[in-house]
Amino acid sequence: MQTRSSGKIQRVAHRHEPEVSKQTGYPSAATHYMEAPIDLNKELVHNKDATFFVRMEGNEWSKLGIHSGDVLIIDRSFSPRKHQLVLAVEEGAFTLQRMPEASPHELCLWGVVTYVIKKVV
């Protein structure tokens, strides 16, 4: 049980979690190998202040492997390289496309797609 000491008085800190004790028997072999668990926010979001999530509707982009309901992670801090998947704006509407090698027209970029999240269950 965790205790909190305030001066000479020790009181029990209430926690609403199951109480799991530290290993009380044989010392763990993993003691010196503990690491923080994987945090998707850290792995998938490079610059959180420039990152937006976007949900796709319809199957217009199934050729690009993107289907209705997929969530795209868009990072606006990236400068797109050719062939990268980008969210752009054409005639006032969003469109998804590969970054062309040489822009035939001025491409109005909204952000670079960094990951696609698919729900499969």
Partner 1 sequence: MIAMVDCNSFYASCEQVFRPDLWGKPVVVLSNNDGCVIAANKEAKALTDIPMFEPVFKIKDVLVKNNVKFFSSNYTLYGEMSQRVMNLLGTFSPQVEVYSIDEAFVNLEGMDHLDLHHYGMQMKETIFQYLGLPVGVGIASTKVLAKLANKIAKKKPEHNHVYVMDTETKRIAALKWAKIGDIWGIGGKHAKRLKSIGVFTGYDFTQLPLSWVRKEMTVVGERLWREMHGESCLDFRTLPKKKKAIGTAKSFGQKLEDLERIEEACAYYISEVAEVLRAQKSCASYVQVFVITNYHSKVDQQYSKSMVATMPIPTNNTFALITEARRVLRQIYKPGYRYKKVGVNLCGIIPQEYVQGNLFEQPPHTQNPNLIKVVDALNMKYGKSTVASAMIGTRINEWELIKKERSPRYTTQWGELLKVGGSELTIKSPIF
> How many residues line the site for partner 1 (CB under 8 A)?
35
Q: How far is the CB of 28 from partner 1 (least distance, A)?
A: 32
Minimum CB–partner distance for residue 27 and partner 1 (Å): 35
Under DSSP, is residue 40 helix (H, G, I), strand (E, B) or coil? Answer: helix
Does the protein bind partner 1 through residue 61 (CB under 8 A)? Answer: yes
The CA-CA-CA angle for residues 112, 43, 75, to 5°, reads 15
Q: Is 117 in the site for partner 1 (CB under 8 A)?
A: no
- Rg for the chain, CA atoms, rounded: 24
Q: Does 22 bind partner 1 (CB under 8 A)?
A: no
Dist CA 69 CA 88 (whole Å):
19
